[in-house]
Each structure stands twice: as structure tokens, then as C-alpha cells.
Amino acid sequence: MPRDECKWFPTCPMNRYLRMGILDRRWTDYYCHGHWLECVRYDMEERGEDHPDWMLPDGSLDENLRGK
């Protein structure tokens, strides 16, 4: 059965930020629910590369999320 959600979503900080109401839902709607293969976070997870929690799916850093 095909997945409709990224396998990292339950533990991804983007999920946490979404629930906190500090992340635009468009990020998770697009990446986490259909296009995770385009997500830089997903890619780095797969390769075991460190990346900060406040790095958005497109690879940009959102300093407003830092430490949240």
C-alpha cells in the first residue's frame, strides 16, 4: 500500500512546529504529504547527515524556529 505521509513525519520537528502553530502548513502539506523525496531534510536523514531542527524542507534555515 503506498504511503501518503513521509515516514519521518511522526518525529520530524516540522510536525512539532506545525502543532505549535509556528509553521506555515503549506510546508507540510506539500512535502510531508506527498513530495518527501524532494525534501532536503528527508534526503539528509536518509544519508545520516546532521541538520538543524530549524532547517525547512527546501534546505533554508528559519531562524524564527531556532530553539523552539
Site string for ligand SF4, 46-65 (x = CB under 6 A): -----------x--------
Residue 55: phi and psi, rounded to 5, are: -85, 125
What φ, ψ does residue 23 adopt, rounded to 5°?
-125, 135
Is 9 near ligand SF4 (CB under 6 A)?
Answer: yes
User: Taking a C-beta distance cutoff of 8 angstroms, is the pair 17, 68 a contact?
Assistant: yes
- Residues of the shown chain interacting with ligand SF4 in the complex, contacts defined by CB under 6 A: 6, 8-9, 12, 14, 31-32, 36, 39, 41-42, 45, 57
